[in-house]
Structure 1
Amino acid sequence: MTFDSIRHPRKGGVPRGLSQTAPVLFSYGFRPFFLAAAIWAVVAMLLWLLSLGGAIAVATDYGPAYWHAHEMLFGYSSAVLAGFLLTAVPNWTGRLPVSGWPLFFLFCIWVAGRLVFLVPGVIGAEAAAVVDSLFLPVLLAICVREVVAGRKWKDLKVIGGLVALSLGNILFHLQVVLGGDPDLAIRLAVSAYVALVTIIGGRIIPSFTRNWINKSGRTDFPASYSQLDTIAISVGISALAAWVLLSAGPVVATLATAAFLLHLMRLTRWRGWTTLSEHLITILHIAYLFVPLGFLGIAFAALGLLSPMAALHVLTVGTIASMMLAVMTRATRGHTGRVLTASRTTTAVYAAIVLAALLRPAADLLPDHAQTLYAASGLAWLAAFGLYLLEYGPMLAMVRRKMV
């Protein structure tokens, strides 16, 4: 049988498995969530750019700037994370994936959060916050169940990232509703995503690189996991924790500088320059490059040498969005039976998101040209996700892998 063969639910449990009777869209977790994430990335960015231009007012009851920050971190990004985890965790644990009606209901929880938070005044900001806060804890419960049942204790590190995101979302709403500033919640959420990139990226980047090099008949493989990787992850998480709690200062700068050096060393050991002929692999290395660059930005901002917003956007657009698109394109191709190679459109997706990642921090460095750079970065973002939808949308919604 293939990876998408029929699975049978266990008696007395939540139905899991690759449904062949449900609509294609709800046959596997990556399908609805990757598709919805890309759509929402386009819609939310369009609304934000129109709001900046004064053409429309978005989520005025909550605050347009807060809405934008929230929807990038807990709207679009949480959907990508859900699509990835609902696909990857079954592979890690050897258990059956969530599919069919359970997947549909989980997806509806995410959609409900987007709708009520777009116009929070309809039901009240507090009620909208409650609805929006449901999704991540439910996703967390599903992943905990699978990891514990599969006895894959090493994957609890990934669960820790989900816990941080769930708490960060709740804290974000509490701080805004109570009249505070959600900066701490934003840093917590960004840190959770970056930590997940350092943990999961350390698995998939050298693995995919090794597989591709081996297929090419070469032997210049990336370095295997070593103590350096463990130290880099530990120091990176320590730097992120200091950044969340202290925001700035010499402690943050010192830890972030150490994390910058360690993660740069880690990346070079994966030999990304050997993959330039296959952009589906190269983009993983480029996206991870924004991890050390992000730590360097945190260090500079902690010493007052760089705008905190510039440092933040190196991580959000550079690390998080670039890595998410890298994973979305590869996973979509792989799980719909496509050849694992980047098309011209896919390469354009990568170029656009990297351009957005470079332009957005530049807006904070060049205030006289900020509005132009905001618009250019936003347009590059729209191009990246728009092109993803153009090429991968039909695969996600209509292409079901054949049973053999």
Structure 2
Amino acid sequence: MLALRKKRMANTHPFLRGGFRPFFFGAATWAVIALTLWLCELAGKITVPSGFDGVAWHRHEMLFGFVGAAVAGFLLTAIPNWTGRLPIAGKPLLTLFAWWAAARIAVLTSALSGFWPAAILDVGLFLSLAMLAAREVIATNNRNFPIVGMVFAFGVADAADYAGSAGVIPTDLGWRSAVALMTIMISMIGGRIIPSFTRNWMVKRRVPATQLPTQPQALDLLVIASTAMALLFWLIFPNNWLTGIVLMLAAGSQLMRQYRWGGHRTGSDPLVLVLHLGYIWLPVGLLLLGLSIAGRDIPASAGVHALTAGGMTTMILAVMTRASLGHTARELRAAPTTVAAYVCVTFGAVLRVAASLGLGPYGIMLDVAGAFWGLALILFLVVYGPILWQPRLGEQH
């Protein structure tokens, strides 16, 4: 098996030499396409031929299309680091990516080609990806099996979203489960990489040891557990005032946790700072969700978009840019265009949340927010698209 993988790595096109390459490229490309289609439908110019209604399709494709592709790219890239085994590459990787792309087309045209065939194709991808990852992790007795389990649960949430649209279960259970799972995953993975990258950056600048962020401790586990509990309350008792209180407490604990990482000192390095900017949306989103349930005049969509358009997208963009540079042996430095992408995604997320809060003309703010959000991903494709298709520096084609 090892010899076969080495041969695949040597003989395949650079684009298929690591999961981050096709899936990060696909995630950004599909996000721009899906957002454009959604804004056109919202303006009444087109009707998306999906078995989902317009809002449900937009929500589904942002979560299970865009975020799902980013999760696949991250997982397939992280597994070799976790296990020491060679990455999935060549035809097996192409098969997974083609499967994801086919699922996007199937969901988009499911009103014509069939709702349940699209569901089987779409859900099957995440369940298969989880089983593939489980095989790699189990083979080396690796500690990251909980992450793999969350990818499997993400596939189950995908299935629940189809069942909800078909009226089999409560309509919103699937997508809310996906939001909860991705929030917890960001809390877990972000809690590893953000203090680690921040500490490395600070050490290079000779910051005193007493000011350096530490790796996850008992307090971090408590914060993750409290966040998971709060989101579980949100899933089971979405309208109970106690859920609002628990969500706000989780927001406070996340904020205190992040403050310990010293992100306010990293302004001179955008690659590090953007990780902190992405993570800050977690306490903001949890707080807004909590306030909306606790009786304040705040729509739940403000909290949901803080977690999705803010937290998930910013963290995805931060990880995609950093991983694309690092795994292709390029200098870890944010070019001006990359910084512009970070600014655009942040501005777009702020406008989208502000629109939900009624802080301006809703329709105009929605269009402008979508334009900035999409522009951030277009800039990613402009800068990193060629990198994802080219060999690693020092590596032959």
| TM-score of the pair, normalised by structure 1 | 0.94
Please tell me whether residue 329 in structure 1 is matched to residue 321 in structure 2.
Answer: yes
Return closer, same or farther for 1:295/1:16 CA change in 2, 3 Å cut-off: farther
Query: SS state of the match for residue 141, structure 2?
Result: coil
Identify the residue that residue 382 of structure 2 maps to in structure 1: 390
1:167-214: CA deviations, max 9, x gaps? Answer: 100010111123765311111000110100000001100101111111
What is the deviation of 1:401? 3.5
Distance 2:18 2:262 in 1: 33
Identify the residue that residue 342 of structure 1 maps to in structure 2: 334
Contact kept? 1:113, 1:132, Cα under 8 Å? yes
Residue identity opposite 2:261 in structure 1? W
Identify the residue that residue 177 of structure 1 maps to in structure 2: 166
Identify the residue that residue 200 of structure 1 maps to in structure 2: 189
State which of 73, 78, 83 in structure 2 corresponds to 1:83.
73
Query: SS state of the match for residue 361, structure 1?
Result: helix
Identify the residue that residue 311 of structure 2 maps to in structure 1: 319
Return closer, same or farther for 1:298/1:384 CA change in 2, 3 Å cut-off: same
Return closer, same or farther for 1:17/1:275 CA change in 2, 3 Å cut-off: farther
Query: SS state of the match for residue 246, structure 2?
Result: helix
What is the deviation of 1:364? 1.6
Please tell me whether residue 146 in structure 1 is matched to residue 136 in structure 2.
Answer: yes
Identify the residue that residue 3 of structure 1 maps to in structure 2: none
**Aligned-pair Cα RMSD in Å:** 1.7
Once the two structures are superposed, the pairs formed by residues 42-191 of structure 1 within 5 Å of their partners are 42-152=32-142, 154-178=143-167, 182-191=171-180
Structure 1: unaligned runs, 5 residues or longer:
1-8
Identify the residue that residue 347 of structure 2 maps to in structure 1: 355
What is the deviation of 1:89? 1.5
Residue identity opposite 2:152 in structure 1? V
Query: SS state of the match for residue 20, structure 1?
Result: helix
1:42-92: CA deviations, max 9, x gaps? Answer: 100010111111111113532111110100000011100111110112101
State which of 262, 265, 277 in structure 2 corresponds to 1:286.
277
Q: How many residues align?
A: 393
What is the deviation of 1:163? 2.2
What is the deviation of 1:254? 2.0
What is the deviation of 1:23? 1.2
What is the deviation of 1:100? 0.6
Residue identity opposite 2:275 in structure 1? L
Distance 1:136 1:56 in 2: 30
Distance 1:281 1:259 in 2: 24
Distance 2:118 2:182 in 1: 24
What is the deviation of 1:216? 2.2
Residue identity opposite 1:93 in structure 2? T
Residue identity opposite 1:380 in structure 2? F
What is the deviation of 1:122? 2.8
Q: Which moved more, 1:222-231 or 1:314-323?
A: 222-231
Return closer, same or farther for 1:16/1:147 CA change in 2, 3 Å cut-off: farther
Contact kept? 2:19, 2:77, Cα under 8 Å? yes
Distance 1:115 1:256 in 2: 36
1:331-364: CA deviations, max 9, x gaps? Answer: 0011111111111111111111111111112112
Please tell me whether residue 221 in structure 1 is matched to residue 221 in structure 2.
Answer: no
Query: SS state of the match for residue 206, structure 2?
Result: coil
Distance 1:251 1:159 in 2: 31
Structure 2: unaligned runs, 5 residues or longer:
none
Residue identity opposite 2:124 in structure 1? L
Distance 2:226 2:154 in 1: 20
Distance 1:209 1:367 in 2: 34
Query: SS state of the match for residue 134, structure 1?
Result: helix
Please tell me whether residue 211 in structure 1 is matched to residue 203 in structure 2.
Answer: no
Q: Which moved more, 1:315-324 or 1:366-375?
A: 366-375
Distance 2:150 2:138 in 1: 16
Contact kept? 1:31, 1:396, Cα under 8 Å? yes
Residue identity opposite 2:83 in structure 1? T
Q: Which moved more, 1:351-360 or 1:363-372?
A: 363-372
Identify the residue that residue 308 of structure 1 maps to in structure 2: 300
Residue identity opposite 2:269 in structure 1? E
Distance 2:11 2:393 in 1: 13
1:273-297: CA deviations, max 9, x gaps? Answer: 1111000000001111111111101
| TM-score of the pair, normalised by structure 2 | 0.95
Distance 1:322 1:52 in 2: 24
What is the deviation of 1:218? 2.6
Query: SS state of the match for residue 288, structure 1?
Result: helix
Please tell me whether residue 298 in structure 1 is matched to residue 289 in structure 2.
Answer: yes
Distance 1:181 1:370 in 2: 28
Identify the residue that residue 258 of structure 1 maps to in structure 2: 249
1:292-337: CA deviations, max 9, x gaps? Answer: 1111011111113210111110101111111000000000011111
Distance 1:277 1:41 in 2: 29
Residue identity opposite 2:22 in structure 1? P
Contact kept? 2:179, 2:308, Cα under 8 Å? yes
Contact kept? 1:161, 1:195, Cα under 8 Å? no
What is the deviation of 1:403? 4.2
